[in-house]
Amino acid sequence: MADKRTSIDDIVSELRSGMTIGIGGWGSRRKPMALVRALCRSDLQDLTVVAYGGPDVGLLCATGKVRKVVCGFVTLDSIALDPHWRAARQRGKVEVMEVDEGMFFQGLQAAAWRVPFLPTRAGLGSDVLRINPDLRLIRSPYGAASPYTHDPADADVELVAMPALHLDAALVHTNRADGAGNAQILSPDPFFDALFLGAADRRFVTTEHVVPNGTLAEEGPLSAVVIHRLLTDGVAEAPHGAHFTANPPDYGRDEVFQKEYAASANDPAEWDAFSARYVFVSDDEYEAHVRERMTA
């Protein structure tokens, strides 16, 4: 059986400028932040980031890595809006494909199922269709006379054809994983991480702790192993790798740190200080700075 253990640096070395990269988690919850910081430090550029957006989007925008974002929102949860995202948008620095968050789910699902689109009511009548002029509608081929038309109101109905959101690479963070590429989410919501991986060509998991193959059931329920090894190419151990986003039961959101992160959008000097201390540093230095802060 293949040993898929790798490192964050090796994962980043497999990515290329211009790629479309999906990032798991939701808002400021269980984001692969150690990997995101490594992207920020890399020489990658012109990325298209596909995410239920949180500080992953904000940090990548603030470090100039992003050409385009595909999202339904960007939020820090306890802070309604990521100010780095707001600043990037208001400066006109980033393109956006903004869609309903359910359409987004269907786009990932379509990619994972290898179909070009999935139909949905979501988006009809809204400006999602105006601000994304390449989105198309699809008319149901089942008319009133069709034996498959359960409800006449659905005969010939016109729906949004949400296109597949195909990813060059997907990056997610889990609570536990094994070297074979199975990964366990002990947090209450697995979000869409397995779907991000399913929609991607190259699939990478960072995790709090790598355990031997066959022992994930000792860490928590097997039903929490929602990512199986058919969905993964590489697994990197990254303890505290979702900090400062919430990753229960291992740790909650670091709200004080998140406030610092948000405040660093206020002016260039604050951002320079924040990024010099917390972004353009190794993971060991990052951890040391986070610890210093807590004991200060």
Partner 1 sequence: MTEPSLERAGATLPCTRAESCVIACADVWRDAGEVMASPFGTIPSLGARLAKLTFAPDLVLTDGEAALMVGAPPLTARPADLVREAAMPYRTVFDVVWSGRRHIMMMASQIDREGNQNISAIGDHRHPKVQLVGVRGAPGNSVNHPTSYWVPDHTVRTFVEHVDVVSGVGYARAAAAGPGASRFHDVRRVVSNLGVFDFETPERTMRLRSYHPGVSVEDIVAATGFTLAIPPDVAETRLPTPEELDLLRNVLDPGSLRDREVKS
Binding stretches for partner 1 (CB under 8 A): 26, 53, 71-75, 80-81, 85-86, 89-90, 92, 98-103, 105, 120-128, 130-131, 153-154, 157-159, 188-192
Smaller CB separation from partner 1, 11 or 185 = 185
Would you say 239 or 248 has its CB closer to partner 1? Answer: 248
Smallest gap from Cβ 60 to partner 1, in A, equals: 16
Give 9 or 158: the residue with its C-beta nearer to partner 1.
Answer: 158
Q: Are the C-beta atoms of residues 265 and 272 closer than 8 Å to each other?
A: no
Could you give phi then psi for residue 84, rounded to 5 degrees?
-70, -40
Q: Between 126 and 215, whose beta carbon lies closer to partner 1?
A: 126
Shortest Cβ distance from residue 125 to partner 1 (Å)? 4
Burial call 221-246: b when 16+ CB within 10 Å, e when fewer: eeebbbbebebbbbbbbbebbbbbbb
Q: Tell me how far, at minimum, the Cβ of 195 lies from partner 1, in Å.
A: 8
Tell me if 231 sits within 8 A of 184, measured CB to CB. no
Three-class SS of residue 116? coil
Minimum Å distance from CB 282 to partner 1?
A: 32
Least separation in angstroms between CB 85 and partner 1: 7
Terminal Cα distance for the chain, rounded: 47
Name which of 15 and 135 has its Cβ closer to partner 1: 135
Q: How many other CB atoms are there within 10 angstroms of residue 202's CB atom? A: 18
Residue 145 CA from chain centroid, whole number:
43
